[in-house]
Amino acid sequence: MRDEEVAAGSICLDGSLEIKLTKVGENSTIGQIQTLIAKAQMTKPQKQKLADKAAGILTFVALAAAIISLLVWSVFLGKPLAFAFTLAITTLVIACPHALGMAIPAVTAISTKLAVKNGIFIKDLAKMELVKDINYVIFDKTGTLTKGEFGLTNIVPLSNEADILKIAGSLEQNSSHVIGQAFTRKAKEENIQLEKIDDFENFAGKGVGGKISDQIYWLGNKILMKEKGILLNKAEEENKKLFNSRKSLVFLANESVLIGIFALADKIKPESFSIVNKLHKLGIKVAMLTGDNKQVAEGVAKELKIDTYFAEVLPGDKYRKVKELQGQGHRVMMVGDGVNDAPALTQADVGVAIGAGTDVAVEAGDIVLTRNNPEDISRLIVLGRKIYRKMLENLIWALGYNVVAIPAAAGVLAPWGFFLRPEIGALIMSLSTVIVVANALTLKKTSLEI
């Protein structure tokens, strides 16, 4: 239609289009992505912001302590001015906020390198602090827990109409969806010549439709059939075994009746069994999102021992399921790889995109798994917990050191004959920074395996 917007990357299936570019340069999709990446590079963990504030406050505390020390020792206690100045200088030297300033950056630098070595790219460092609190991980089924390589296992014609595989393959010949590709792949294997499609329509999360030789056909799931007024009752009675199987069913209908049923199966990734088991060991529950029917979802959930599953979920409703779990008080991590997962990845407390997935999903995620391996999720959670612990240890040391060192430098321990000279103060200050960095470096030898 005239004056309608066309998204970059759209495919014109039939005819020709004249398009006017309205967003170029920094306003284009690529330009906006570059802006988002630049923003991600400037992110800081919450603990870093806390440390920065504490370091700023410490500067004034040290200055105040030095002035008070100078006045107390010179004016009130009558000590020589040189002695008072020595204590004041020692106070300023020992209170240098190097350790506090290095407490978090040292940890994030080491942890970022460790993450990359384990196939994890952290886009937003602030989100890593939330990882330790995650108690529910949601996986998108197809392509994440399963291989996403559907194969046709059953073809059931229900009428004397022309070859139903030829019709289905023709309808899906321009599809990029894994289920759609299963039809075209099968048709190619059997050397079937596909027909030209007119008035093609795509129904997100439901199926497709179009005309072949002026005859309308619909190919999709139960939801699409219901919307088009196609009855499935009789077919379900005659094919109970197929309907009760743990396979994905796709229905083919003309404008009035059902003419065929296709059953497809997808294989579960071997590593999916391992990740569910590992997450349970970490005390984390697992949920699964899928657009498949309840039988398929239940079968996969039982096989993998998944705690919760959501079946027949439309692409636009995925984020609502994330919101539903959050409404129950859970901290939710969403793992997905498709365009349809982007809203859910954004809604989750932590969104994890599979690097082998779409650019939109990768951009929506806070963290990206560079390997197409769900097992990296357990490593991510272990890493998140270890990072938080190291940050806490460094902050406690840096703050604790100043709480003890500043009064000591100011001469509080003088009644016991203990004084700190400026050079000793400088040595102690340097040592505190070394300890913070050394503690962060212990992360290098940390194992993320369970």
Q: What is the DSSP string of 181-199?
A: HHHHHHHHHTTPPPPP-EE
Q: Of the ranges 97-101, 262-266, 374-378, which one carries the lowest mean pLDDT score?
A: 97-101
Q: Who's near 344: CB < 8 A, 6+ residues apart?
A: 138, 140, 289, 318, 319, 321, 322, 334, 336, 351
Q: How far apart are CA 143 and CA 300, in angstroms?
A: 13
CATH fold for domain 120-147+268-370: Rossmann fold (3.40.50)
Residue with tokens 């302590």: 65
Greatest C-alpha distance within the chain:
112
Give the start-to-end residue ranges of the domains of the chain: 46-108+386-445, 120-147+268-370, 151-265
pLDDT band at 280 (very low <50, low <70, confident <90, very high): very high
Q: How far apart are CA 149 and CA 445, in angstroms?
A: 38
CATH 3.40.50.12160 assigned to domain 151-265? The reply is no
Mean pLDDT, rounded, for 401-410: 75
170, 197 contact by CB (below 8 A)? yes
Residues 54-87: tens digit of each pLDDT: 566 767 777 777 788 778 878 777 788 877 777 7
Residues 21-36: tens digit of each pLDDT: 777 766 665 565 455 4
Residue 449, φ and ψ in degrees, nearest 5:
-80, 155
Domains 120-147+268-370 and 151-265 share a fold: no
pTM beyond 0.75, yes or no: no
pLDDT band at 49 (very low <50, low <70, confident <90, very high): low
Note the pLDDT of residue 219. Answer: 95
Residue 153, φ and ψ in degrees, nearest 5:
-110, -25
More confident residue, 92 or 318: 318
Q: Which of 258, 293, 291 is nearest to 156 (CA)?
A: 258
Respond yes or no: is residue 337 known to be catalytic. Answer: no
Q: How far apart are CA 162 and CA 190, in angstroms?
A: 15
Containing 260, the helix (H) or strand (E) segment is strand 258-265
Q: Which of 352, 393, 383 is nearest to 111 (CA)?
A: 383
75, 406 contact by CB (below 8 A)? no
Cβ burial, residue 5 (10 Å; 0-12/13-18/19+): exposed
Q: Of the ranges 117-126, 376-385, 392-401, 414-423, which one carries the lowest mean pLDDT score?
A: 414-423
Q: How far apart are CA 20 and CA 79, in angstroms?
A: 83
Quote the mean pLDDT of the chain. 82
Residues 325-339: tens digit of each pLDDT: 999 999 999 998 766
Note the pLDDT of residue 40. Answer: 46
Q: How far apart are CA 347 and CA 325, in angstroms?
A: 11
Q: Which of 385, 357, 147 is nearest to 270 (CA)?
A: 147
List C-alpha distances in Å: 407 to 84, 286, 403.
Answer: 14, 51, 7
SS3 11: coil
108, 49 contact by CB (below 8 A)? no
Q: Which of 8-22, 88-102, 322-336, 402-416 has the highest mean pLDDT?
A: 322-336
Note the pLDDT of residue 434. Answer: 86
- Predicted confidence (pLDDT) at residue 378 exceeds the cutoff of 80: yes
Question: To the nearest 10°, the Cα dihedral for 383, 384, 390, 394?
Answer: 150
Strand intervals (E) in 270-417: 285-289, 308-310, 332-336, 350-354, 367-369
- Predicted confidence (pLDDT) at residue 255 exceeds the cutoff of 50: yes
Strand intervals (E) in 125-231: 136-140, 151-157, 198-203, 207-212, 215-220
pLDDT band at 400 (very low <50, low <70, confident <90, very high): confident
Residue with tokens 């504030």: 53
13, 200 contact by CB (below 8 A)? yes
Q: Which of 261, 296, 265, 235 is nearest to 155 (CA)?
A: 261
Sign of CA dihedral 124, 126, 131, 137: negative
- Helices 81-94 and 376-410 cross at an angle (nearest 10°) of 180
Radius of gyration over every alpha carbon of the chain, rounded to an integer in angstroms: 31
Catalytically annotated residue among 14, 52, 124, 140: 140
Cβ burial, residue 261 (10 Å; 0-12/13-18/19+): buried
Q: Who's near 34: CB < 8 A, 6+ residues apart?
A: 26
Note the pLDDT of residue 16. Answer: 61
